[in-house]
Each structure stands twice: as C-alpha cells, then as structure tokens.
Amino acid sequence: MAEDRDGVVVYWRPMCTYCMKLFVKLLFTRLRYTKVNIWKDPEAAAFVRSVADGNETVPTVTVAGRPMVNPSRRQLLDAVAMYAPHLL
C-alpha cells in the first residue's frame, strides 16, 4: 500500500456501524480517501491488528502513513491538516 503513503486510507469492514458513521460524516467534506475492506484484504487486516493492540478495530485510518484507530471526524481532519494539507 505504498501508493497511499501520502494520502488517507480508511480500513473498514461490512456491517461496522462506526465505519458507516465516519463515512457519512466524511460525505460533507471534500476529503478524498481510499477504502480498504479488511475482510477482503488479509494484509490490511494484519496491518490493522498491528496498530490496534492485536484487534481488528475499525475504522482504522492512516493519514500520510500515520495510523489512527477509530478517529473522530475532527481528529481525522486535524491530522490531514497537519500531515497532508494538500488533500484539503
């Protein structure tokens, strides 16, 4: 996933209400991001476990390669402003 090192990646899974809430909140932003379903991508699931204390906690988001586990919309946008302002 080296191609996403400068961008925003949202790791999610189907039926995750926290993921759906974040996606709805991001609809009202201009932020572009990549979605990765951890149930379809074993490497992505392993990455999420590596940053979430061994759990598959989603949404896990990376901003310019920096992981955030279950961030709020505000935390995510603040991280984008700090580490990847070109995306805003």
CA dihedral 40, 33, 59, 24 (to 10 degrees): -110
Look up the pTM and report it: 0.92
- pLDDT tens digits, one per residue of 32-64: 999 999 999 999 999 999 999 999 999 999 999
Q: What is the CATH number of the domain that holds 19?
A: 3.40.30.10
Averaged confidence pLDDT in the chain = 93
Assess whether pLDDT exceeds 80 at residue 5: no
Structural domain including 42 reads 2-87
- The mean per-residue pLDDT over the stretch 70-81 comes to 96
pLDDT band at 3 (very low <50, low <70, confident <90, very high): very low
Task: Give the C-alpha separation, 76 to 29, whole Å.
Answer: 11
- The mean per-residue pLDDT over the stretch 4-32 comes to 92
Report the number of distinct structural domains present in the chain.
1
